[in-house]
């Protein structure tokens, strides 16, 4: 019976087991596959993952903070996205070998409205989540299926990167395919992606981010990658302005769906995963 799990530290509040178990149930795999959570400290991550891979009962794991860089480092092989981003959130074990993938990148693209045009994107932040978003948007790739279930392609965006500490924006933009900016004009962007932790603790996003509520408009998509209190103040303002909004929970669902697809070869139900993630 293949096991799956999310590994993090801490991992107690993760929604992934409920979300993935809902997807497995919908695929009629719940009797066969299980998905749990394992708390592993950074010091023992490499040894414990090697043991899991060698033991043979785990098909793979999701990896979350603070292990995503270590997960890439210990893998025998890695996808192009994982290598470019420098982090992996999905490990697959087979015959004692470990393959790393980064489904955060694909998750960003599949969270966007199907059929979205490319154009100008502003990524706020320069941490791990920003790295995946910048690489994904600068390259484009598979998007959400259209209303008939057919695959769509997200075109590459021209990506501007703003960060509170500008040097980090320079570094990630140069590495991943964007351009660092210090004073962006929010209204000029087709897509604004917040990857900073601003708003998680009730801060006013417009005090800390380089955009004003008045910059937001109906021809924009605004994506708050971090999930916390819903809806975030940024998304509430975007909605008031008539923009299309995407909440962080969607990112969790989409990256998880891509991971499950890698392990099982099946296309999970996004709706079942949304419901499972909301329940926890």
For this structure, is 28 an active site residue?
no
**Cα 172 vs. chain centroid, distance in angstroms?**
17
Minimum Å gap between C-beta 211 and ligand ATR is 12
Q: Cis peptide before 99, with omega less than 30 degrees from 0? A: no
CA distances from 279 to 119, 169, 272 (A): 35, 36, 11
Q: Using CB under 6 A, which of the segments 6-14, 115-123, 161-169, 230-238 binds ligand ATR?
A: 161-169
**Minimum distance from CB of 163 to ligand ATR (Å)?**
5
Among 208, 214, 229, 230, binds ligand ATR (CB under 6 A): 208
Quick one: which of 8, 60, 86, 128 contacts ligand ATR (CB under 6 A)? 128
Q: Measured from the CB of residue 185, what is the shortest distance to ligand ATR in angstroms?
A: 18
Least CB distance from residue 108 to ligand ATR, whole Å? 12
**Is 72 within 8 Å of 95 (Cβ atoms)?**
no
Instruction: Report how far residue 95's alpha carbon sits from residue 7's, in angstroms, rounded to the nearest whole number.
Output: 20
* Active-site option among 68, 110, 131, 139: 68
Q: Which stretch binds ligand ATR (CB under 6 A): 6-14, 127-135, 149-157, 272-280?
A: 127-135
* Binding residues for ligand ATR restricted to 176-205, rule: CB under 6 A: 195-198
Q: How far is CA 256 from the centre of its chain?
A: 8
Cα 175 from chain centre: 19
Other CB atoms within 10 Å distance of the CB of residue 149: 7
The neighbouring-strand residues paired with 39 are 8
Tell me the site size for ligand ATR, rule CB under 6 A: 15
Is residue 165 close enough to count as binding ligand ATR by CB under 6 A?
Answer: yes
Closest CB to ligand ATR: residue number: 127
Q: Which of 83, 164, 217, 261 binds ligand ATR (CB under 6 A)?
A: 164
Separation CA 75–CA 95 (nearest Å) = 13
For residues 186 and 192, the answer to whether their CB atoms sit within 8 Å is yes
Which residues would be at the binding site for ligand ATR (CB under 6 A)? 125-130, 163-165, 168, 195-198, 208
Catalytic (active-site) positions? 68
């Amino acid at each position: 019976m293949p096991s799956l799990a999310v590994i993090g530290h801490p991992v107690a509040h993760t929604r992934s087991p409920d979300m993935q178990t809902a997807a497995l149930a919908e695929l009629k795999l719940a009797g066969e596959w299980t998905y749990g959570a394992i708390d592993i400290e950074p010091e023992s991550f490499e040894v414990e993952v090697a043991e899991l891979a060698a033991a043979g009962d785990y098909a793979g794991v999701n990896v979350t903070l603070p292990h995503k860089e270590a997960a890439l480092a210990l893998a025998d092989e890695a996808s192009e996205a994982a290598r470019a981003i420098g982090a992996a959130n999905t490990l697959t074990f087979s015959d004692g070998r470990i393959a790393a993938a980064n489904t955060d990148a694909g998750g960003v693209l599949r969270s966007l409205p199907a059929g979205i045009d490319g154009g100008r994107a502003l990524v706020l932040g320069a941490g791990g989540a920003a790295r995946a978003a910048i690489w994904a948007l600068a390259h484009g790739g598979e998007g959400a299926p259209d209303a008939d279930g057919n695959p769509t392609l997200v075109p590459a965006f021209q990506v501007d990167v703003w960060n509170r500490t500008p040097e980090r924006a320079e570094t990630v933009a140069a590495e991943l395919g964007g351009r660092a900016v210090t004073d962006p004009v929010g209204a000029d962007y087709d897509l604004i992606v917040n990857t900073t932790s601003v708003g998680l603790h009730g801060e006013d996003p417009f005090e800390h981010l380089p955009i004003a509520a008045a910059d937001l408009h109906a021809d924009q998509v605004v994506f708050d990658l971090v999930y916390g209190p819903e809806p975030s103040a940024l998304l509430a303002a975007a909605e008031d302005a008539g923009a299309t909004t995407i909440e962080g929970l969607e990112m969790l669902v989409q990256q998880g769906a891509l991971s499950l697809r890698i392990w099982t070869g099946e296309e999970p139900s996004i709706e079942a995963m949304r419901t499972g993630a909301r329940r926890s």
